[in-house]
Amino acid sequence: MIAIIDYGAGNIKSLQFALTSIGLDAKLTTEASVIRNSDGIILPGVGAFRDAMEALRNLNLTELLQQEAAAGKPLMGICLGMQLLFDKSYEDGEWRGLGLLQGTVDRISGEVKVPHMGWNTLTHHQESSLLNGVPDESYVYFVHSYAVRSYPQHQLVSSTTYGGLIPAIVQKDNLIGMQFHPEKSGRIGLQLLKNVGEMIA
Amino acid sequence: MLAKRIIPCMDVDKGRVVKGHKFQNIQDVADPVELAKRYNQSGADELVFYDITASNENRPLFLEVVEKVAAEIAIPFTVGGGIRSIEDIYQTLRSGADKVSINSLAVKNPDLIREAALKFGSQCIVLSIDAKQMDSGKWHTFIKGGREDTGIDAVAWAKEGERLGAGEIVVNAIDTDGDKNGYNLELTKAITSNVNIPVVASGGAGSKSHILEVLTKADADAALAASVFHYNDINIPELKTFLDQNGISVRR
């Protein structure tokens, strides 16, 4: 069972729908016991960085997520959820993240419209089982105003280009981040979720 | 490269997709869940749902339909019509919508855009503007399904919407809606050149060339249409091939 951390107001039901449609069992939850008993955890993205961290703290989930990650359980962050895995964000201030991945989060720069909203292509940087059946230049759906910066290159699995290079998929052992929404990225997105499911199973 | 988006729009009345002409003569078209599945398969980049009657009685039914559609598709999904409050937005997002589209209410209560953007994020707040050209040549913003002239300049309203925190603007030309003679390029261009958020053109698509035109000449980020897609007058995979051949980045 995959635990989807249900800590805010966004559309996480569609994530559950997507996982169900590819035969994965997923529960929306904030309960420590359910999270501990899960085979994998997905941290979706909801609202602003500061509010999200505050919500996780109020639910007593930050340490639990850090423990589960350290114990080797697959943990995937989607969109803001990916950003939360990193050290720090400069979204309207300076906020500490979960610190599971090295790097910071800053506003998208360059002569482009922000938010970065729509379908953009993936450029793969290394081989990964996450990319099975996902050709280079596949389109996935992004909606975000902030992106990860100053991260170790070897964690970059795939990127996109929008006002510069934006990390799209990052991975360090059992930790995965996807800046786009796989649950909203059509057939390719479902394939990516299947690949994550393989990792969890 | 960011792709231009093709967006079928379903006008929903009492749980059925319907079509109208200049917002009138409503005809039944299809079951929204079946139609949404078809679009999800055929390469539509996003779906929009408008509850066109949006009376109090059918709201629970409508959210039920929203949830059923959300369960069947893996592409972004915008829901509009009858959004009255922050609570309505919350319920709509919880039912499986990715974005909500606000029209009449935003005109009456612009602060709702600000409040909603702060609470849920700009990316899920879409400002929908119905505009009509007046004898003066100015574009006025209309509300209540195109029935009421607010006297507000549509371009100024789009800029204000961006300032308040809307993440995207849908601009619908009432004059060309349902005519299939092409989008209103002048109106669309006036909006795209005055805001720095994505703009979705709506109203008037009749052919693949009309869509190419609004994406290139008017710089729209996305093209929305209803009946030409519902009746397969424009086939989405063929449209994408056509746009690709004309140098437009599209998801295929």
Residue B194's pLDDT band, with cuts at 50, 70 and 90, is very high
Check if the beta carbon of residue B201 is closer than 8 Å to that of residue B164.
no
Give pLDDT, residue B219. 97
Domain at B165, CATH number? 3.20.20.70
In a domain, residue B252? The reply is no
Burial of B91 (0-12, 13-18, 19+ CB in 10 A): middle
Whether residue B251 is contained in a domain is answered as no
- A198: closest CA of chain B, how far (Å): 20
ipTM, 2 dp: 0.88
Write the residue in A10, A115, A184 that is nearest to B74 by C-beta: A184
Going by the DSSP 8-state scheme, the letter that residue A181 receives in this structure is -
The residue of chain B with its CA nearest to that of A80 is: B121
Pairing assessment for the beta strands A86-89 and A101-107 based on DSSP bridges: parallel
| Chain B partners within 8 Å of A162 (Cβ) | 2
Structural domain count of chain B: 1
Cβ–Cβ gap B120/A185 under 8 Å: no
**Could you read off the pLDDT of A104-125 as tens digits, one per residue?**
999 998 888 888 999 999 999 9
Examine residue B153 and state whether it is found in any structural domain, yes or no: yes
The reply to whether residue B95 touches residue A13, judged by beta carbons under 8 angstroms, is yes
Give pLDDT, residue A135: 98
Structural domains in chain A, CATH included, are 2-200 (3.40.50.880)
**What is the share, in percent, of chain A residues with pLDDT greater than 90?**
88
> Residue B166: closest CA among chain A residues belongs to which residue?
A115
Among A68, A79, A124, A125, which one carries the catalytic annotation? A79
B171 φ, ψ (degrees, to nearest 5) = -115, 120
The per-residue pLDDT for A102 is: 97
**Is the pLDDT assigned to residue B55 strictly greater than 70?**
no
Domain that holds residue B55: 5-245
Q: What is the dihedral of CA B222, B41, B82, B223, to 10 degrees?
A: 10
How would residue A201 be classed by pLDDT, with cut points 50, 70 and 90?
A: confident
Mean pLDDT, chain B, whole residue set: 91
Higher pLDDT pick, B179 / B79 = B79
pLDDT value of residue A24: 96
- Do the Cβ atoms of A117 and B123 come within 8 Å? yes
Indicate whether B117 pLDDT > 60.
yes
Asked if residue B85 is part of any domain, the answer here is yes
**CA B119 – CA B114 distance, rounded (Å):** 9
Mean pLDDT, all residues of chain A = 94
Give the B-side interface with A, CB within 8 Å. 1-3, 5, 40, 43, 45, 67, 70-72, 74-77, 90, 93-98, 119-124, 167-168, 196-198, 221-222, 251-252
Question: Quick check: is B219 catalytic?
Answer: no
Give the SS3 label for residue B40.
helix
Q: What is the pLDDT of residue A26?
A: 96
Check pLDDT > 80 for residue A173: yes
Does pLDDT of B29 surpass 60?
yes
Q: How confident is the model at residue B84 (pLDDT cuts 50, 70, 90)?
A: confident
Measured CA to CA, the distance from residue B161 to residue B113 in angstroms comes to 7
A137 is catalytic: no
pLDDT at B58: 61
Q: What pLDDT was estimated at residue B140?
A: 97
**Cα torsion angle, A135, A136, A139, A142, sign:** positive
Q: Is the pLDDT of residue B104 over 80?
A: yes
